[in-house]
Amino acid sequence: MDIMAEYSDYIRNVKKLTQNTSEAYLRDLQQFKDYLKQIEIGDIKKASKAIVITYLMNLQKKGKSASTISRKLASIRCFFQYLLNRNQISEDPTLNLKSPKSEKRIPSILTEEEVNILLSQPKSKDFKGIRDKAMLELLYATGLRVSEIVALNVEDIISSSSLLVIRDEGNERVIPIGEIAMDALTEYMNIYRPKDKDKDQNNPLFLNYAGKRLTRQGFWKIIKYYTKKADIQKDITPHMLRHSFAVHLIENGADMKTVQEILGHSDISTTQMYAFASKQNELREVYKKSHPRA
């Protein structure tokens, strides 16, 4: 087994990184290796601190964001720490290199009125209309990531108590489902979702026309379709609905810890950006109401 295969096995089975994170780390590492080839360095173990710094500066010149560069540095650092711990290099070329500071971006959100308009778009009483209604309602009711919503299985929904369970790498979090979303989900599950799919465990909750699990790409297309129908002049994404869910919760009195647990954030500082966005919205509304030329 070569070093890259060993490292891939290490981050997945020892560090227990999620599949998405593991793939991102390996992809970042491959891009760094490609850069080394361009400067005629065939062995990644020969990369020096100067080379790593030059690579990061190169990414900056290409317009990569601070958060993207930080992640790529973290990916490279993780690999060199792995080599160092196995005595395959004598020093870590990323030692003491600091990630660029990320600007705090206020997340783009929909107003409650825009959410209502978007969620009212699936009107047809057929498989697609009822499925899409259930998905959109569930997304806004729970703040799930798109990867989480397409990964849901039938057994993850606890209909008797209006809860859903998110399972990720051995971890679980339980999220309440609002009444409107639960009604839409129940109609889809009881009437429109093919029942012959329930014979085995791990049955996809949301299916495409072929009876297979709906993909991330399929869900994005659905969002774009209803955005166009709703005539909302914003680039609506599944993550924007997640942002909107969080900000609307905080605006209506939810405490930060609860929002953190529902969203599955490991660090509450990630959740705090929604409080900042909520405050900005509040200031904007007060300004509009109070200033004579607003």
Residues 73 and 140 in one domain: no
Q: Which residues contact 177 (CB under 8 A, 6 or more apart)?
A: 138, 141, 142, 157, 162, 163, 164, 185
pLDDT tens digit sequence for 132-184:
999 999 999 999 999 999 999 999 999 999 999 998 766 788 999 999 999 99
Q: What percent of the chain has pLDDT over 90?
A: 50
Q: From 211, 241, 238, 197, select the one nearest 127 (Cα to Cα).
A: 211
Same domain, 165 and 271: yes
Domain end call among 66, 85, 104:
85
Asked whether residue 64 falls in the same domain as residue 119, the answer is: no
CA distance 30 to 282: 45
Q: Is residue 158, in this structure, part of any structural domain at all?
A: yes
Does some domain include residue 105? no
Q: Choosing from 105, 242, 274, 284, which is the catalytic residue?
A: 242
Q: Which residues make Cβ contacts (< 8 Å) with residue 165, sequence separation at least 6?
A: 156, 158, 172, 173, 174, 175
DSSP element (H, E) containing 174: strand 171-176
Give me the mean pLDDT over the 248-270 stretch.
80
Q: What is the mean pLDDT of residues 209-217?
A: 91
Could you write out the DSSP letters of every residue in 113-173? HHHHHHHT-----SHHHHHHHHHHHHHHHH---HHHHHH-BGGGEEGGGTEEEEEETTEEE
Q: Give the pLDDT confidence of 18-48 residue by residue, as tens digits.
A: 888 889 899 999 999 999 999 999 889 999 9
Residues 186 and 221 reside in one and the same domain = yes
Q: Is 290's pLDDT higher than 80? A: no
103-108 CB contacts, 8 Å cutoff, 24+ apart = 103/66, 104/273, 104/276, 105/273, 106/273, 106/276, 106/277, 106/280, 107/240, 107/243, 107/246, 107/247, 107/273, 107/274, 107/277, 108/234, 108/235, 108/240, 108/243
Reported as a pLDDT band with limits 50, 70 and 90, residue 251 is confident
Residues 182 and 276 in one domain: yes
Strand partners, 171: 168
Instruction: Judge contact between 284 and 256, C-beta under 8 A.
Output: no
CATH code: domain of residue 61: 1.10.150
Q: Is the pLDDT of residue 280 over 90?
A: no
Q: Specify if 98 maps to a domain.
A: no
| 279 shares a domain with 231 | yes
Cβ atoms of residues 152 and 242 within 8 Å: no
Residue 203 inside a domain? The answer is yes
Q: Is the pLDDT of residue 200 over 80?
A: no
Residue 258 sits in the same domain as residue 133: yes
Q: Are residues 63 and 177 in the same domain?
A: no
Measured CA to CA, the distance from residue 124 to residue 118 in angstroms comes to: 14
Looking at the structure, tell me whether residues 136 and 282 fall in a common domain.
Answer: yes
Please give the DSSP secondary-structure letter assigned to residue 90: S
More confident call, 221 vs 100: 221
Residue 119 is assigned to a structural domain of this protein: yes
Backbone phi, psi, residue 172, to 5°: -130, 145
Domain of residue 35, residue span: 3-85
186 vs 66 pLDDT, higher one: 186
Indicate if 139 and 277 belong to the same structural domain.
yes
Q: Are residues 121 and 57 in the same domain?
A: no
State the pLDDT at residue 239: 87
Catalytic position from the list 27, 86, 225, 287: 287
Q: Are residues 278 and 169 in the same domain?
A: yes
In a domain, 104, yes or no: no
Q: Report whether pLDDT(277) > 80.
A: no
Mark whether 226 is an active-site residue. no
Q: What DSSP letter does each residue of 225-270 carry, written as one string? A: HHHHHHT--S---HHHHHHHHHHHHHHTT--HHHHHHHHT-SSHHH
Total domain count, the chain:
2
pTM given for the model: 0.61
242 is catalytic: yes
Kindly state whether residue 95 falls inside one of the protein's structural domains.
no
pLDDT in tens, 41-78: 988 999 999 999 999 999 988 888 888 888 899 999 99
Task: Determine phi and psi for 64, rounding to 5 degrees.
Answer: -65, 145
**Average pLDDT along the chain:** 86
- CATH number, domain with residue 256: 1.10.443.10
Residue 123, in any domain of the structure? yes
CA–CA dist 193, 217 (Å, integer): 20
**Statement: residue 261 has pLDDT above 80:** yes
